[in-house]
Amino acid sequence: MTSPVLSVSNLNTSFLVDGKWMDVVRDVSFDIGAKETVAVVGESGSGKSVTALSIMRLLSENNARLKGEINFGGQNLLDISQQDMQKVRGNRIGMIFQEPMTSLNPVLKIGKQITEVLVRHRGMTQATARAEAIRLLDKVRIPAARSRLDEYPLSFSGGMRQRVVIAIALACSPQLLIADEPTTALDVTIQAQILELIKVLQEEEGMSVLFITHDMGVVAEISDRTVVMYRGEAVETGTTQEIFQHAKHPYTRALLSAVPKLGSMAGTVQPKRFPIVDMKTGEAASVADTADTVEHDKTPILEVKNLVTRFDIKSGFFGRVSGRVHAVENVSFDLREGETLSLVGESGCGKSTTGRSIMRLTEAKSGSITVGGKDVRHAGKSSLLDIRKHMQMIFQDPFESLNPRMRVGEAIAEPIVTHGLAARGEVRKRVADLLTRVGLSPSMADRFPHEFSGGQRQRVCIARALALEPRFIVADESVSALDVSVKAQVINLMLDLQERFKLAYLFISHDMAVVERISHRVAVMYLGEIVEIGSRASVFENPQHPYTKKLMEAVPVPDPARRQIRRISNDEIRSPVRAPDFVAPVRKYDEVSAGHFVQVQ
Amino acid sequence: MTSYLLSRTLQTVLTLLVMSVLVFVGVYMVGNPVDLLLSTTATPAERLQVIQSFGLDQPVWEQYWTFLTHALSGDLGNSFVFNQPALTLILQRMPATLELAFVALLMALVIGIPLGVYAGLKPKALVSKSIMTFSILGFSLPTFWIGLVMILVFSVKLGWLPASGRGETVDLFGVPVSFLTLDGLSHLALPAFNLALFKISLIIRLTRAGVMECLQLDFVRFARAKGLSETRIVLVHVLKNTLIPLITVIGLELGSLIAFAVVTETIFAWPGMGKLIIDAISVLDRPVILAYLMITVVMFSIINLAVDILYSIVDPRVRLEGDS
């Protein structure tokens, strides 16, 4: 390797917390060579983002302390003044962040946000900077670049915003690009576009890339070398190939075993638990096989027929309907006891609205929903209360779905009390029992949500949902916000509960690999419609609809040997907003194999 | 845009109607202005004559109808007390009040925003803490008391500034204004600052909160990663976002500045409409009360409209309803 572009040695970062200095990054060292991509991978709290921010010196100097050496272009970045550092940032090192929706200033035009960098670092005039900005937008493959300069961020989709952010970061042709989880907030097909774009631009510009991510699939897809971080330390560094094939550190092995791999379920019929690897020894505990839980002979617990949910968009003086969101369009499926049916699709496909319509958190427009033989859509207040005992919901964000001022014990007890399911004296015992069931200790009932980690909070949410002994649970992106190892544990818990109580899940997710692991059946949704539905094995092993195929191809494979070559498409996530006079076309379905239906185009 | 303006105008007309009915019924129920205006020695004949001349012998709905038909032709009736058109009375005094209010608003912005930005950028600095203490004082001390103290210090003890009146005025488009003469300005200084004090405190707090919130946002971090100077980040990226909530509040506060001017006007003997309306209320001079309130409603509507339009200019995410 020629002399490295960036060389981090013995980086120590500590934060001032309640008057004490806490080490967040300890003795981290790595090099990035010319034109090389290095990934720093780890779970939340591993210090990977702090490492990136330390290199850029973006941490507040009042409560963050940096030690060690960061050599870049012949100088130690930790020694130079803030003024000199400003000349490095955005100029010789570009950086992009996770949230494209908030990285751009909402009240400044796109053009201005690009040109200000050029004016600052290149001393360009407004006119030349504008011309350069057009070139940059072309470079990140934004169609009709010239006309978009005077638009505000709000008229760009998430993926397009991330491209603008990349254009800004690359405006001054930096030697190094630091990308901090740049695709985490994006849909999987858009993620594929952005990853490909970064690869192509790296080639064109001849720059090095430092890629921060939690996603092993993305690591395998993009990086030459990988640094694995765990609790502030770089536990393993090596070529990506080595890390994936011969990981030495137990944590790396644990991380890799928890990563759901798309296609790893080929040949199995039942859902499969994740092997839980001991973080210290790296030994995987053996996984119990999952029993067949589906009650094929009984009538389904949930039947949805021709469900339609639309939202009117009103505008003008008289509140005229100017358009309609066709969120759910003619959706039918059923769910049996002990079965997991997954609804997959990208943002705006109507998967969450379907779940909410079933729970009657959103009113459907037409169609029928039957739970345990009872009509949900026309149920009155008291009978709805009754039906709701049978169906519960777990949401995506465990931080927002628990009341921060309520002890978790009270939160779990609330539905029991509301429905009068236990005598006053017994409630505490029930809560303790529920906490044990989800793998928490009963003594935790007196704690507040902020005292729990994300994974524990999601367990509390599951306990709360289980309080009513429901027959099925709508899990809306319930594991999406969790770290891989925690995600694996929560999924294992869900499978345990399914086996014990014959629970059925309507599992709503965008994550194909997790869906493959947990489902009995899968329904793929696109623009409010189900385009393909069938058993997990048939949909994953024999996908028929082009959208299903596209979705699966976009999933990054956590295997560096199987890198795919893709072209950068400019497909955007399409919007289900239609004109008010739009009539949804009648769809026909082909039965490819038993129970596997595909929409005919 | 046209349909938006149309709907806003209709809303204003509706507000005017509802307000005039309320005032009519309200004043009618409170008492009879004739009792307050005539001396106790007036003969029944004189009394009857006055009542008839005011039209108070009619049933109240008929009085309202007369008012409404006249109002449509721009006649809001004569003041019971001055026997002059109520509208003329108010319009004579309005420029003085508006001048006072706008100068106070300008002071509030010019002083409040920079102090607020500073306090937001360096919340732990001693200067910031002093600014915040000052703003608490501005909030909590009553306007009339500060007014009196200011007169005591600057006019009586130091003799720097005059304590009352408008001073020398010049006509600007036929309206007399004080702020264009040195004497006028010196008369304006104390009352305007007195009126502005509360608003300065409010704007300091709002700006500080806005700046502190904005500094946490991702785009500020990204702006730093772009290598921009702190000055540019604050002046361009942070300030424009902070202005958004500020504009709404400033719009509402301009209205209350005009309304609160009553107290300041009384203390500094400022010849505005505040004094007029207080007198009108005490003798139930209905035409003046009505005309004043109608002008206020129209003024508030215009201010709010201006705020909404300004808002949509500053924040591209806001689109005026009916604007596609």
How far apart, in Å, are the Cα atoms of A195 and each of A49, A186, A348? 19, 11, 22
With H, G, I as helix, E, B as strand and everything else as coil, classify residue B296: helix
Q: What is the pLDDT of residues A125-181, one digit of tens each?
A: 999 999 999 999 988 888 888 888 888 888 888 888 888 999 999 999 999 999 998
- State whether A58 and B224 contact (CB < 8 Å): yes
The confidence band for B207, taking pLDDT boundaries of 50, 70 and 90, is very high
Instruction: Tell me: pLDDT of A431 over 70.
Output: yes
- Chain B contacts to A (CB-CB under 8 A): 3-4, 6-7, 217-219, 221-229, 232, 236-237, 240-241, 244, 314-317, 321-322, 324
Instruction: Tell me: pLDDT of B323 over 60.
Output: no
Note every long-range contact of A134-137, with CB atoms under 8 Å and residues 24 or more positions apart, other chains counting: A136/A167, A136/A168, A136/A170, A136/A171, A137/A163, A137/A164, A137/A167
Instruction: Tell me: pLDDT of B250 over 50.
Output: yes
The confidence band for A317, taking pLDDT boundaries of 50, 70 and 90, is low
Mean pLDDT over each residue of chain A, to the nearest integer: 87
Which residue(s) pair with A13 in the sheet?
A: A25, A66
Instruction: Give the per-residue pLDDT at A318.
Output: 63
In this structure, which amino acid lies at residue B29? M
Instruction: Give the per-residue pLDDT at B322.
Output: 45
Instruction: Give the per-residue pLDDT at B314.
Output: 78
Query: Which residues in chain B have their CB less than 8 angstroms from residue A120's CB?
Result: 226-229, 232
Closest CA to A348 of A191, A574, A529, A533: A574
* Beta-strand relationship, A529-535 and A596-599: antiparallel
The confidence band for B295, taking pLDDT boundaries of 50, 70 and 90, is confident
Query: Which residues in chain B have their CB less than 8 angstroms from residue A108's CB?
Result: 236-237, 240
The confidence band for A555, taking pLDDT boundaries of 50, 70 and 90, is confident
Instruction: Tell me: pLDDT of B141 over 50.
Output: yes
- State whether A116 and B322 contact (CB < 8 Å): no
CA angle A72, A75, A78 (to 5 degrees): 85
Q: Looking only at Cα atoms, what is the longest distance across chain A?
A: 76
Q: In what order do the strands lie in the sheet with A340-344?
A: A391-394, A472-476, A504-509, A340-344, A521-526, A529-535, A596-599, A589-593
CB atoms within 10 A of CB B11: 13
Closest CA to A113 of A199, A100, A207: A100
Instruction: Give the per-residue pLDDT at B62.
Output: 81
* DSSP string for A182-211: TTTTS-HHHHHHHHHHHHHHHHHHT-EEEE
- Chain position carrying tokens 């785009």: B219
Distance between CA atoms of A338 and B263, rounded to whole angstroms?
A: 74
CB atoms within 10 A of CB A240: 23
- Percentage of residues in chain B having pLDDT higher than 70: 97
- State whether B218 and A102 contact (CB < 8 Å): yes
Q: How far is B135 from chain A (nearest CA, A)?
A: 26
- Chain position carrying tokens 């080490």: A23
Residue A400 CA neighbour count, 13 Å, CB half? 5
Instruction: Give the per-residue pLDDT at A564.
Output: 67
Cβ contacts below 8 Å, chain A against chain B, sum to 90
Instruction: Give the per-residue pLDDT at B275.
Output: 79
- Residue ranges and CATH numbers for the domains of chain A are 6-248 (3.40.50.300), 302-390+470-599 (3.40.50.300), 405-468 (no CATH)
- State whether A104 and B217 contact (CB < 8 Å): no
- Percentage of residues in chain A having pLDDT higher than 90: 40
Instruction: Give the per-residue pLDDT at A485.
Output: 80
Instruction: Give the per-residue pLDDT at A67.
Output: 92
Query: Which residues in chain A have their CB less than 8 angstroms from residue B244's CB?
Result: 107
Q: In what order do the strands lie in the sheet with A366-371?
A: A374-375, A366-371, A302-315, A320-335, A577-578
**Cβ atoms of A525 and A349 closer than 8 Å:** yes
- Percentage of residues in chain A having pLDDT higher than 70: 98
Instruction: Tell me: pLDDT of B260 over 80.
Output: no
How far apart, in Å, are the Cα atoms of A543 and each of A347, A514, B86? 20, 17, 81
Instruction: Give the per-residue pLDDT at A71.
Output: 93
> ipTM of the predicted structure?
0.79
Which residue(s) pair with A341 in the sheet?
A: A506, A521
Choose between A353 and B259: higher pLDDT.
A353
Instruction: Tell me: pLDDT of A15 over 80.
Output: yes
Topology of domain B88-314, CATH? MetI-like fold (1.10.3720)
Instruction: Tell me: pLDDT of A262 over 90.
Output: no
Of all helices (H) and strands (E), which one includes residue B298?
helix B286-314
User: Which of A25-39, A263-277, A291-305 has maximum average pLDDT?
Assistant: A25-39
The confidence band for A211, taking pLDDT boundaries of 50, 70 and 90, is very high
Buried b (16+ CB within 10 A) or exposed e, B74-102: eebbbbbbbeebbbebbeebbbbbbbbbe
Sequence spans of domains, chain B: 2-72, 88-314
Instruction: Give the per-residue pLDDT at B321.
Output: 52
What would the mean pLDDT of B196-216 be, rounded to a whole number?
Answer: 91
Buried b (16+ CB within 10 A) or exposed e, B257-278: bbebbbbbbebbebbbbbbbbe
Q: What is the pLDDT of residues A365-375, one digit of tens each?
A: 999 999 988 89
CB atoms within 10 A of CB A505: 25
In this structure, which amino acid lies at residue A255? L
- State whether B240 and A91 contact (CB < 8 Å): no
Query: Which residues in chain A have their CB less than 8 angstroms from residue B217's CB?
Result: 102
Which range among A313-327, A445-459, A460-474, B265-279 shows the weakest confidence by mean pLDDT? Answer: A313-327
Contact of A122 with chain B, judged by CB distance below 8 Å, is answered with no
Indicate the DSSP class of residue A557.
Answer: P
What would the mean pLDDT of B189-204 be, rounded to a whole number?
Answer: 90
Which residue(s) pair with A66 in the sheet?
A: A13
**Nearest residue on chain B to A108, alpha-carbon basis:** B237
- State whether B224 and A322 contact (CB < 8 Å): no
The number of helices, as runs of H, and strands, as runs of E, in chain B is 13, 2
Which range among A143-152, A237-246, B196-205 shows the weakest confidence by mean pLDDT? Answer: A143-152
Residue among B219, B225, B317 minimizing CB distance to A102: B219
The confidence band for A316, taking pLDDT boundaries of 50, 70 and 90, is low
- State whether A86 and B222 contact (CB < 8 Å): no
What would the mean pLDDT of A68-77 be, rounded to a whole number?
Answer: 91
The confidence band for A567, taking pLDDT boundaries of 50, 70 and 90, is low
A27 CB-contact burial (10 Å; exposed 0-12 / middle 13-18 / buried 19+): middle
The confidence band for A305, taking pLDDT boundaries of 50, 70 and 90, is very high
